[in-house]
Structure 1
Amino acid sequence: MDYAGTMPVLLAETSLLWTLTLSSVIISVSVCVHAVVMRELLRRLCFPGRFVWARLTAVVLSLLLTHMFQIVLFGLAYHFMVDSEHGLQGVYDGTFNDAVYFSAAVYTTVGFGDITPVGYLRLMVGFEALAGLVLIAWSASFTFVAMSKLAKPAAGAAIANEDEPAGLP
């Protein structure tokens, strides 16, 4: 049986239960991926030593890529869940690019206007906005903790030698 051809058909049969289930799965995957990425970043990059700013840059870039992955996950769901009664309307032309654009606007809580959700998809949009808000805040607090861990030894060295600015490698 050709499962690749049935995927869009299954996703297009939108119902409240299907929307809640898919939203829960995507959010669960997003949170788990986010947690694993941050655990690995903490383990591999957040330790005293040299190249503090290079490691901090790697932390920020890794978190940005993680957010982009999560936006694409929701974009895939929007792209395949669109049907005549439930989906996206406005200047949405049915392309994956538009679905990801819409997902990015929702995830970052920038808001939307040119493309709007219809039907049960509105529920998923609300869940994505909430997940994006929480995951972005989690990334911000993690970045602060990473900076604290990385800059702490340098700040201690600056106290001993006040000629060097604190926090620089």
Structure 2
Amino acid sequence: MTSILVLTFGLVAATVLIHTAFLTLSMKWLSGLNTGHERNFNFWPLTWLFVRLVWILLVSHTAQIVIWACFYYWGGAISYFESAVYFSGVTYTTIGYGDLVVPPPWRIIATVEGLTGIVMCSLSAAFFFSVMTRLFLDRQP
């Protein structure tokens, strides 16, 4: 049981590390853009900016899901890697269809993955909102 908890906390740390790295890269990328000096709202440039930002966030979440899936697969909880990625995805996003289940010792890890996914998705939403707010405030007279 102790080894499962240590593994779980390691997975949480890896998830936070990946997400923080992507957010840091996103902030550096955004700070290099010339987005705040115009006083008008240009629909297409802003839309394209947000599309790219969402892509970055989705790549980050996908990488995190794959990390969890690797542990389910390598640990023998799920036999096929594609199934492990699917299970990890529906667990991380808290969809939880229930069509795939893991053995009892792995259920603790799956539960923590769901909680971690909620926090990471919330962090992405907060980051996205803060970017939108900053862009809106930069365009105020």
Tell me by how many angstroms 1:55 deviates. Answer: 2.3
Tell me by how many angstroms 1:18 deviates. Answer: 2.5
**Residue aligning to 2:60:** 66
1:109-157 Cα deviation digits (max 9, x unpaired): 0013211121210110011000001100110011000111123233x25
**Residue aligning to 2:133:** 148
2:101 alignment partner, SS class: strand
CA contact (8 A) 1:52 1:151 kept: no
CA contact (8 A) 1:31 1:135 kept: yes
Given candidates 109, 114, 121, the residue that maps to 1:136 is: 121
Task: Summarize the Cα distance change of 1:61–1:49 in structure 2 as closer, same or farther, 3 Å threshold.
Answer: farther
TM-score by length of 2: 0.84
1:64-90 Cα deviation digits (max 9, x unpaired): 1000000000100001112xxxx35xx
Distance 1:33 1:113 in 2: 27
Q: CA RMSD in A?
A: 1.7
Q: Output the amino acid matched with 1:71.
A: I
Given candidates 102, 105, 115, the residue that maps to 2:90 is: 105
Distance 2:37 2:57 in 1: 21
- Where does structure 2 lack aligned partners over 5 or more consecutive residues? 39-44
Distance 2:108 2:101 in 1: 12
Instruction: Give aligned-pair identity as a percent.
Output: 27
Which structure is higher in helix share?
A: 2
**Residue aligning to 2:71:** 77
Tell me by how many angstroms 1:36 deviates. Answer: 2.1
Given candidates 22, 26, 31, the residue that maps to 2:16 is: 31
- Where does structure 1 lack aligned partners over 5 or more consecutive residues? 1-15, 89-93, 158-169
Distance 1:151 1:41 in 2: 18
Larger CA deviation: 38-47 vs 63-72: 38-47
Distance 1:67 1:49 in 2: 31
Larger radius of gyration: 1
